[in-house]
Structure 1
Amino acid sequence: MPKVSISSFPVSGLFGVVKPTGPTSMSIVNDLQQLIARSKLFVDAEKLEKIKGKKIDRKRGKFGKEGVKVGQGGTLDPLADGVLVIGVGRGTKKLNEFLNCTKEYRTTCLLGCETDTYDSEGSRVRVAPWRHVTRDRVESNLTTFTGQIKQVPPIFSALKMDGKPLYEYARKGIPLPRPIEARDVTVHSLSVTEWLGSQHPYTWPDKELSSEEKQALEAALKGVEEGAKVADELEPIPANFEDEKPSAFVMSMKVSGGTYVRCIVHDLSHAVGSAGHVVTLTRARQGRFVLASKEDEDRECIPWEVFERALSDVGEQDDEGWTEWERQVMEHLEVV
């Protein structure tokens, strides 16, 4: 792959960032743009002169007319962390290839509770028995979700049906005109890597759908599923188990582009006779960009802390005029 040389500046390219849990992908891009727009690595001297002396303002979002184009190759929700591919300049034209590439994830499922978003950021839809679920029971159901499978996106999503977002049907109690179309995806591998049992810090969300919201969801689902019901399936609490935590487990998977990790967790929880939702989600690989290198062509990502420090204080330049974050990018950059 092309290497950065002194005579090649400014450049366009791709590099990976380790996104932390919390911020949105777009906020990461906007913050990076503040740094990139002030770097001779990506911007020519004439443009740099125009913005000389302007301070970084992270509240402004996109830098403006002087800023070089920056984009990302596949959104991670605030809950999720891990690999986020960044394109700069002509590199943004290469970002589409990362939407359908092979990806690897690690995720933690918390049993006994289903949410509208299929993760801990959402509201509780229903609770279900979970004490009967064992590691063996989960693992015996993994083959159902491995290989070429069909996934049905959640009804609480922005996907549209007849011009209306699915979540609008669910929230307003409008019957779906037809079933949500299943999507073909490929799960190359799927395994339980750790059974946490009750030894974990996770809890069910405090937010809960109201009775009216549950009735609206039922009405929407009855358009395609006769007798659809949204209700808790409570189980008796054994003596001395009032403070018992629901079981959780960690899975690793390698999947094709377009795969809903949350759907795998949701559907697998149903398959074992329970309910479940995602409480942690890490993207460990997106194409050739990885958290930990396994193959020669892999490109490791830069920790977000490197850029966070630069946004607060860009720091001292070395003998060649580069700051810490620029050196890190140069070491990991794929020039386009």
Structure 2
Amino acid sequence: MDNVDNTDNSGLVIVDKPAGWTSHDVVGRMRRLARTRRVGHAGTLDPMATGVLVLGIGKATRLLGHLALTDKAYDATIRLGESTNTDDAEGEITATASAAGVADEALRAGVESLTGPIRQVPPQVSAIKVDGKRAYKMARKGEEVALAARPVTVHEFTITDVRREGDVIDVDASVTCSSGTYIRALARDLGARLGCGGHLTALRRTRVGPYDLGMARTLDRLAEKLEILPMADAVAAAFPRRDVSQDDARKVAHGGRLPAAGLGPGPVGVFGPDGSLLALVEEKGGAARPLAVFAS
């Protein structure tokens, strides 16, 4: 359990990340805008990608690890007929094979085979650690990186447009998936199943958990007016809510446990009689144990 100190502007900022920026670049910009070093993000977006990046400021940085585990949604463009060493357009083309003969039926079947619970090998150029080293650092040195397949769930993989030009096919798709799913790897694997190779050419994240593009703001707009989603609102949107009495509020504020309320295995937001956020708790063995306490 973490006891977290108070910060006046604690909360979440939902950023519409621009292309070409790393997630770390956005954190650095937000540190200057919010005038605090205490800024983090939930779930990295590659530099090429745009869209929803959830930032936590102050006490809200303690929420990020829990928010990173929620489902995410994307709009993607996959190019079939070309493979790259990064599985996206930022890498070098390593192989070409005409996709002109890939029928619409085969394309749909390929997408269906990558929908549902699957095992996915992460891209060679990824932040996953192998023997204590980041895979992307090893890959960029020319080292072969052996990454194990991991279980992920692709809830939705829907083709929205298909454009054929010569030997390549550009496929627009919408994807909803579990945390830890690489859309680059879906592009690679779709190309592999169709026998022509594939890579990701565009990616826009449209949702992280309950936070979507409608809530996101560009960095330019945030520079004009810093819009921070208050801690209580952020937690109420993302997790089940439990309102407690004054006596129970005192227990939670001091790190005490409460009887479980049957609100599920994931984090639960606990709120006091005045509506203030007290803590995130986890229900196990008949008790609600604090994960992080936010009460003064």
TM-score by length of 2: 0.70
Distance in 1 of aligned mates of 2:70 and 2:25: 23
2:159 counterpart of 1:192: yes
Match of 2:17 in 1: 19
Match of 1:291 in 2: 213
Distance 1:125 1:196, change over 3 A: same
Match of 1:321 in 2: none
Distance in 1 of aligned mates of 2:12 and 2:126: 30
SS at match of 1:197: strand
For 1:291, the aligned partner's letter is: L
User: For 1:306, which of 200, 221, 224 is the aligned residue?
Assistant: 221
Q: How far 1:306 moved relative to its partner?
A: 0.4
SS at match of 2:56: strand
Q: CA RMSD in A?
A: 2.4
Distance in 2 of aligned mates of 1:183 and 1:147: 13
Question: Which of 1 and 2 has greater Rg?
Answer: 1
Matches of residues 1-336 of structure 1 in structure 2 within 5 Å?
Answer: 10-37=8-35, 67-166=36-135, 180-198=147-165, 244=166, 246-292=168-214, 300-307=215-222, 310=223, 324-326=224-226, 329-330=227-228, 332-335=229-232
Q: How far 1:163 moved relative to its partner?
A: 4.3
Distance 1:280 1:333, change over 3 A: farther
Distance 1:175 1:305, change over 3 A: closer
Listed one character per residue, the Cα deviations across residues 216-253 of structure 1 (whole Å, up to 9, x for unaligned) are: xxxxxxxxxxxxxxxxxxxxxxxxxxxx4622010111
Q: How far 1:167 moved relative to its partner?
A: 5.3
Q: Which runs of 5+ in 2 are unaligned?
A: 1-5, 233-276, 278-296
SS at match of 2:191: helix
Distance 1:106 1:11, change over 3 A: same
Q: How far 1:175 moved relative to its partner?
A: 6.6
Percent identity at matched positions?
36
Q: Is the 1:106–1:253 contact (alpha carbons within 8 Å) kept by the matching residues of 2?
A: yes
SS at match of 1:141: helix
For 1:108, the aligned partner's letter is: T
Q: How far 1:274 moved relative to its partner?
A: 0.8
Q: How far 1:281 moved relative to its partner?
A: 0.5
Listed one character per residue, the Cα deviations across residues 272-305 of structure 1 (whole Å, up to 9, x for unaligned) are: 111111110011110111014xxxxxxx112333
How many residues matched?
Answer: 228
Distance in 2 of aligned mates of 1:183 and 1:303: 33
Q: Is the 1:141–1:268 contact (alpha carbons within 8 Å) kept by the matching residues of 2?
A: yes
SS at match of 1:31: helix
Q: How far 1:158 moved relative to its partner?
A: 4.4
For 2:193, the aligned partner's letter is: A
Q: How far 1:171 moved relative to its partner?
A: 6.2
Q: How far 1:156 moved relative to its partner?
A: 3.7
Q: Is the 1:99–1:258 contact (alpha carbons within 8 Å) kept by the matching residues of 2?
A: no
Q: Is the 1:15–1:333 contact (alpha carbons within 8 Å) kept by the matching residues of 2?
A: no
Q: Is the 1:148–1:186 contact (alpha carbons within 8 Å) kept by the matching residues of 2?
A: yes
TM-score by length of 1: 0.62
For 2:85, the aligned partner's letter is: D
**Higher RCO, 1 vs 2 (CA within 8 Å, ≥6 residues apart):** 1
Match of 1:297 in 2: none
Distance in 2 of aligned mates of 1:172 and 1:80: 24
Distance 1:174 1:248, change over 3 A: closer
Distance 1:130 1:256, change over 3 A: same
Q: How far 1:173 moved relative to its partner?
A: 6.6
SS at match of 1:181: coil
Q: How far 1:180 moved relative to its partner?
A: 2.9
SS at match of 2:14: strand
Structure having the larger proportion of residues in strand: 2
Q: How far 1:9 moved relative to its partner?
A: 8.8
For 2:18, the aligned partner's letter is: P
Q: Which runs of 5+ in 1 are unaligned?
A: 1-7, 38-66, 199-243, 293-299, 311-323
